[in-house]
Structure 1
Amino acid sequence: MVELRRSGRISTLKKTHFLTEEDSEEVKPAIKKQRVSKTKKIVIKKSNGKMKPKLDGKEEIVKSVKELDSTAVKNTDSIYKELQIGDDIPDIILPDEEGVSVSLKKVVEENKIVVFFAFPKANTPGCTRQACGFRDNYKELKEHAAVYGISADPVTAQKKFKTKQNLPYSLLSDSKRDFIGLLGAKKTPQSGVIRSYFIFVDGKLKVKRVKISPELSVEEARKEVSAFASN
């Protein structure tokens, strides 16, 4: 049998996708050598008496993109700072379950007390208990406050949820989690909503309860609305 040359053996072993322990030890140095040979040489230039690597075009682009991303994150953090007790409601417009635009600023102008309860996902067990809890206590709540449910669900899902559970209040769709993020109810930077509730009085945040059970969110919100109304 004709013995394969080393480069031929490497190519053959790569294609079969399996190496014996003995083969792998022999192949690794050769592969490493090949990779090094394909790497572009970095040109060195003097800058202020020090030797520094000169980036090629591709590396310059990657560096620029990373710097832009870093700046964007810093700018976003400064603009979208999490709301704290006493802060004004942000000037955000969100669609309700009918697709009608709802201005948060206008909502607090028209209602002295406003309750927003955040839920992770429409038509799931915990969220249904929470939504139905606010539904069952809505008669008492609406005497003093406006009530809104909010999640990252699309308008169509909010519509189905409201119809199925016969909810008497509006459900806001915050698909980009803009308001949810400002309230501090994002589960992760990428996705998710933490079950919470928030109460605004005269346009200012007065109650912020993040990570709470469905039943307790209803019970505590009802008590706090009553307390604010009596003051």
Structure 2
Amino acid sequence: MEVGDLAPEFALPDQEGKVHRLSDYRGRWVVLYFYPKDDTPGCTTEACGFRDEKGRLESLGAVVLGVSADDVESHKRFAEKYRLNFPLLADPGREAILAYGAWGKKNLYGKAYEGVLRQTFLIDPEGRIAKIWRKVSPEGHAEEVAEALLALKGA
């Protein structure tokens, strides 16, 4: 996946069970962020950042979609606990995660394993990838995405 590529289509349920397709958002900017696990420290920081920046991102014409391999019920608990105001898409089969290359080798306390990589894709209104963050630091990431969107829009 590179900037300029057509973003892969997906159809995934959110925390309420409603299916979202990338094509549903044609004509809008999409912040598609992949995160490892619901209700873990880094993922909570990142999700709350997007919650708090949602108004600004929406004013710039963007929608926020979070994706992890957790199921709908896990997403529902996570969204309710932190009052998350955007869709969290459940991808337990890892279809979108693999299509976007957001699965790979990780390290925790010196132990190597495979899992969801914390990555963000900014998709333009035509459905092309406009910017990719391959290594995301959860703190301040939502603001970083909003600034990049502002710059890309020339606003």
Q: Tell whether the 8 Å contact from 1:184 to 1:210 is kept in structure 2 after alignment.
A: no
Cα distance in 2, alignment partners of residues 115 and 91 from structure 1: 14
Deviation at residue 213 of structure 1 after TM alignment: 0.8
Give the counterpart of 2:31 among 115, 138, 152: 115
Give the counterpart of 2:54 among 119, 135, 138: 138
Q: Secondary structure at the match of 1:148?
A: strand
Cα distance in 1, alignment partners of residues 143 and 119 from structure 2: 12
1:185 maps to which residue?
102
Q: Which has the higher strand share?
A: 2
Please provide the CA RMSD for this pair: 1.6
Q: Percent identity?
A: 38
2:151 maps to which residue?
227
The answer to which structure, 1 or 2, has the higher relative contact order (CA under 8 A, 6+ apart) is: 2
List alignment gaps of at least 5 residues for structure 2: 106-112
1:197 maps to which residue?
120
* Off by >2 Å, runs of 4+ in structure 1: 228-231
List alignment gaps of at least 5 residues for structure 1: 1-82
1:44 maps to which residue?
none
Structure whose CA Rg is larger? 1
Cα distance in 2, alignment partners of residues 126 and 173 from structure 1: 18
Deviation at residue 221 of structure 1 after TM alignment: 0.6
Q: Secondary structure at the match of 1:135?
A: helix
Per the normalisation by structure 2, the TM-score is 0.87
Give the aligned residue type for 1:96.
D
Cα distance in 2, alignment partners of residues 218 and 110 from structure 1: 21
Per the normalisation by structure 1, the TM-score is 0.60
Give the aligned residue type for 1:123.
D
